[in-house]
Chains A and B, each alone.
Chain A
Amino acid sequence: MNETLSLSAFWTLFAPSIAAALVAAAVCGVLGFFVVLRRVAFVSAALGQISGLGVATGFLLGTVFGLDPHEHTPVYLDPVMLAIVLSAGTSLLLASVSRVQRASPESTVAFAYITASALAIIVLASPKIVQESHEVTDLLFGSTVAVRREHLVELGVVAAVVLASQFFLFKDFLFVSFDPEMARTLGLPVRRLDMVLNLSVGVAVTVATRAVGALPVFGFLVLPAGAALLAFQSVRVVLIVSVLGAMFAAGFGFYLSAAFDWPTGPMMVVVAAAYWPIAALFRLAGGRQRA
């Protein structure tokens, strides 16, 4: 262990990266509540692939239009912008398809994941952009320990919007997730609410992935919320535990990674994964009946 790594030194060294990881974890902790309840846990993985497709397509289009990928590109050909638009569009599409009879959420997400993966590989195999693959990876998965300032700002803005929408619409999101038919009979705009929620997930996952990486975002989205739902019976408690659990996994995972010189993203996921057996034990002990 690196015994000289005090908490203050740890913060000084990695402040922007720690802040990005904590913000990404908080947003994913809230959104994960709905992702797990709606049984679309792999939506994060699918959106990661779709972001990849967007970035790769952006580079390919740039070469088609004779642009240097290292120079400033018009916004409509910016790989990151294409990734966000494609992820947001797919999220909206998933919201529509999920209401189609006989289309299960799992198979719809799997369809998006497989198709985007295949297309991204095909686009990346193009000889025109093969030398840019490291750029694509950097844009896609960011670097957990070296977060760029602009990524942190982007993440902060997206987090503020997502958390504000959750603050005002949480009860409505929960209702349309639990019983969309009843919600429609009461006149709630079910489709629009679904779209807002899915759009939140799509944009948040894309931006958070760029800032801290795909694996931790997937972990923050699924593991704390899943464990909290396993252990507790109250919406409020589940939500608080999910958010705090994700943030703790981000902070403690980061610290362990820095202290032991282990990979950062995987360490965060390992900490979050530890919640599951704890939650299962808590449930077996009857704690769920009380909380």
Chain B
Amino acid sequence: MELIRLEHAEIGYVKPLLAPLDLSISRGDRLAVLGPNGGGKSTLLRSLLGLVPLLSGRRVLPQGKPPRLGYVPQAHRADPLYPLTALQVVLQGRYGLVGVGRSPSKADRAAAVTQLGKVGLSEQADKPFRSLSGGQRQRVLLARALCGEPELLVLDEFTSDLDPAASAGLLAEVSGLAQGSGVSVMFVTHEISAAAAHASTVALVDSRRGVFESGPMAQVLTGERLSRLYGQKVQVERRDGRTVVFVESGDAT
């Protein structure tokens, strides 16, 4: 079942970043968005979420309403003024279900506690959100995104502030949680190996080279396409069911 689709969409803030593009996400998809810094990945994601209006084209909602979304932004700069606990931040993920002007029920609070436990932070529930480490905060935000029972989980470079081991671990957790609950996932990442490990489809985006391609992972994640995307020679090898990526210095040509 299709959840959301961009049709002939021009994305950008004033001028279009790319030629009109089509992109669709269906239930169970795991879409990785790859591309160099400043290439328009986050703008694509925000356009799909409806946070940035399209310059032209359409954002189609095949169910007649937006899918329930769970959004984890790039490393959240927690405002040190806000006196919120980790649990209160997670509970915010339920507010779409609770509704404006209504108080969260006991079931909502229980759901928040459960999600916090799933990301391994039960003991941090009453700690101030701002006092948590970068990795812990991202886990809290992941729990918040999952707490709203999303149909589509959208992650915008949410592991960019983490070390490689923590980043790989968290992505694996997300993948596991999403697969377990049948949630579709769209994630922006710089880690090609992570995309290969966890995505079923891949979109390559670079506004400077005018690149936008999307399709099944095995078809799109090739050395030739990645070399064109990054302007550097990239080799992709598949070993024992794993995809290994080598980036060589120097020009792709």
Which of A's residues lie within 8 Å of B, judged by CB? 36-37, 39, 101, 168-169, 171-172, 174-175, 177-179, 181-189, 193, 229, 232-235, 238
Contact = CB atoms under 8 A, between A and B. Distances in A.
16 contacts: A171-B103, A172-B95, A178-B79, A179-B92, A182-B92, A182-B144, A183-B92, A184-B50, A184-B51, A185-B49, A185-B69, A185-B71, A186-B93, A186-B148, A232-B83, A238-B83
A84 B122 CA distance: 48
A175 B92 CA distance: 7
Interface string B58-93: 000000001001110100100101111100100011
A2 B76 CA distance: 56
Interface centre among A37, A172, A182, A193 (most CB of B within 10 A): A182
Contacts of B144: 182
B100 interface: yes
Contacts of B81: 36-37, 39, 229
Contacts of B66: 187
A229 to B, nearest CB: 6
- Which 9 A-B residue pairs are closest in the complex by CB-CB distance? A186-B96, A185-B71, A185-B69, A168-B101, A233-B83, A187-B96, A233-B128, A175-B92, A172-B100
Contacts of A177: 82
Contact of A171 (B83, B95, B154): B95
Contacts of A184: 50-51
Given A37-B82, A181-B71, A188 B128 contact: no
Interface centre among B66, B73, B93, B100 (most CB of A within 10 A): B100
Nearest to A33: B83
A229 B96 CA distance: 27
B44 to A, nearest CB: 15
Given A37-B82, A169-B100, A181 B95 contact: no
A188 B96 contact: yes
B51 A181 contact: yes
Interface SS majority for chain A: helix
A235 B88 CA distance: 10
Contacts of B69: 185-186
A116 B34 CA distance: 48
Interface of B: 13, 49-51, 66, 69-71, 73, 76, 79, 81-85, 88, 92-93, 95-96, 100-101, 103-104, 128, 144, 148, 154
Interface centre among B101, B128, B154 (most CB of A within 10 A): B101
Given A182-B73, A184-B51, A175 B95 contact: yes
A169 B101 contact: yes
Given A185-B69, A189-B100, 10 more contacts: A37-B81, A169-B100, A172-B101, A178-B92, A181-B51, A182-B71, A182-B73, A184-B51, A185-B49, A234-B83
Interface centre among A37, A177, A185, A235 (most CB of B within 10 A): A185
B97 to A, nearest CB: 8
A178 B82 contact: yes
A239 to B, nearest CB: 9
Contact of B100 (A37, A179, A193): A193
Contact of A188 (B13, B82, B84, B100): B100
Contacts of A174: 84
Contacts of A182: 71, 73, 92, 144
Contacts of B88: 235
B115 to A, nearest CB: 15
A181 B50 CA distance: 10
Contacts of A171: 95, 103-104
A124 to B, nearest CB: 37
B26 to A, nearest CB: 19
A186 B252 CA distance: 42
Nearest to A184: B51
B1 to A, nearest CB: 20
A237 to B, nearest CB: 8
A290 B169 CA distance: 33
Contacts of B148: 186
Contacts of A186: 69, 93, 95-96, 148
Contacts of B101: 168-169, 172
B139 to A, nearest CB: 15
